[in-house]
């Protein structure tokens, strides 16, 4: 009987254009890394992940420095900072992946993982960004350097607007709360 209902649900989902299975956590997603290789989120299972949409020509670009410091402080304790370049806001990330990576390394010594440039809002938004916005009550990024915090179980547990600096006490407290034990 259970098989019947599961099969019926899958058929109805396909018939009405919905995905057969909704994602339950961040580990169901993957990106392409800024270097062009696969970047599967499941490699971060059991870690806290701060996902940040970034841009090189934004008034908040200085936050790269704070993100790098946050990464250096907490990476050995189980935090991953994941930079996601996006050109969605004001055309402030026009460069190629090679240019973005070089800019981040030269100007901010960034060595935390970064993805290829993707959309983070709208109908073309990366699937993980659509999922995170849904998990955060419909709150999609409003600008560059918007931050989602994912716990070790793969769930969105906090979000921080662009104005929240990486060294803000409330961000550090949220990170420390979800670091793996």
Instruction: Record the tokens describing residue 171, joined without a space.
Output: 């961000």
What is the phi-psi region of residue 84: left when phi exceeds 0, alpha when psi lies from -120 to 50, beta otherwise? beta
Among candidates 126, 102, 122, 120, which has minimal Cα distance to 41? Answer: 126
- Catalytic residue, chosen from 58, 67, 80, 128, is 58
Residue 58 bears catalytic tag: yes
Decide: residue 91, CB within 10 A, 0-12 exposed, 13-18 middle, 19+ buried: exposed
What 8-state DSSP symbol labels residue 80? E
How far from each other are the two terminal CA atoms of the chain, in whole angstroms? 41
Among candidates 150, 95, 84, which has minimal Cα distance to 121? Answer: 84
Active site (catalytic) residues: 58
């Amino acid at each position: 009987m259970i098989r019947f209902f599961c099969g019926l649900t899958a058929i109805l989902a396909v018939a009405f254009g919905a995905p057969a299975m909704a994602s339950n956590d961040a580990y169901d997603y993957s990106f392409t890394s800024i270097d062009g290789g696969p970047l599967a989120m499941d490699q971060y299972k059991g870690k806290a992940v701060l996902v940040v949409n970034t841009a090189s020509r934004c008034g908040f670009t200085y936050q790269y420095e704070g993100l790098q410091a946050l990464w250096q402080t907490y990476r050995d304790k189980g935090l991953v900072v994941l930079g996601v370049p996006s050109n969605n806001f004001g055309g402030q990330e026009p460069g190629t992946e090679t240019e973005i990576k070089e800019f981040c390394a030269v100007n901010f010594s960034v060595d935390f993982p970064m993805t290829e440039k993707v959309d983070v809002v709208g109908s073309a938004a990366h699937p993980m960004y659509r999922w995170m916005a849904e998990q955060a009550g419909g709150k999609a990024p409003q600008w560059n350097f918007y931050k989602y915090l994912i716990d070790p179980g793969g769930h969105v547990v906090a979000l921080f607007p662009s104005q929240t600096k990486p060294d803000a006490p409330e961000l550090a407290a949220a990170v420390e709360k979800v670091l793996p034990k």
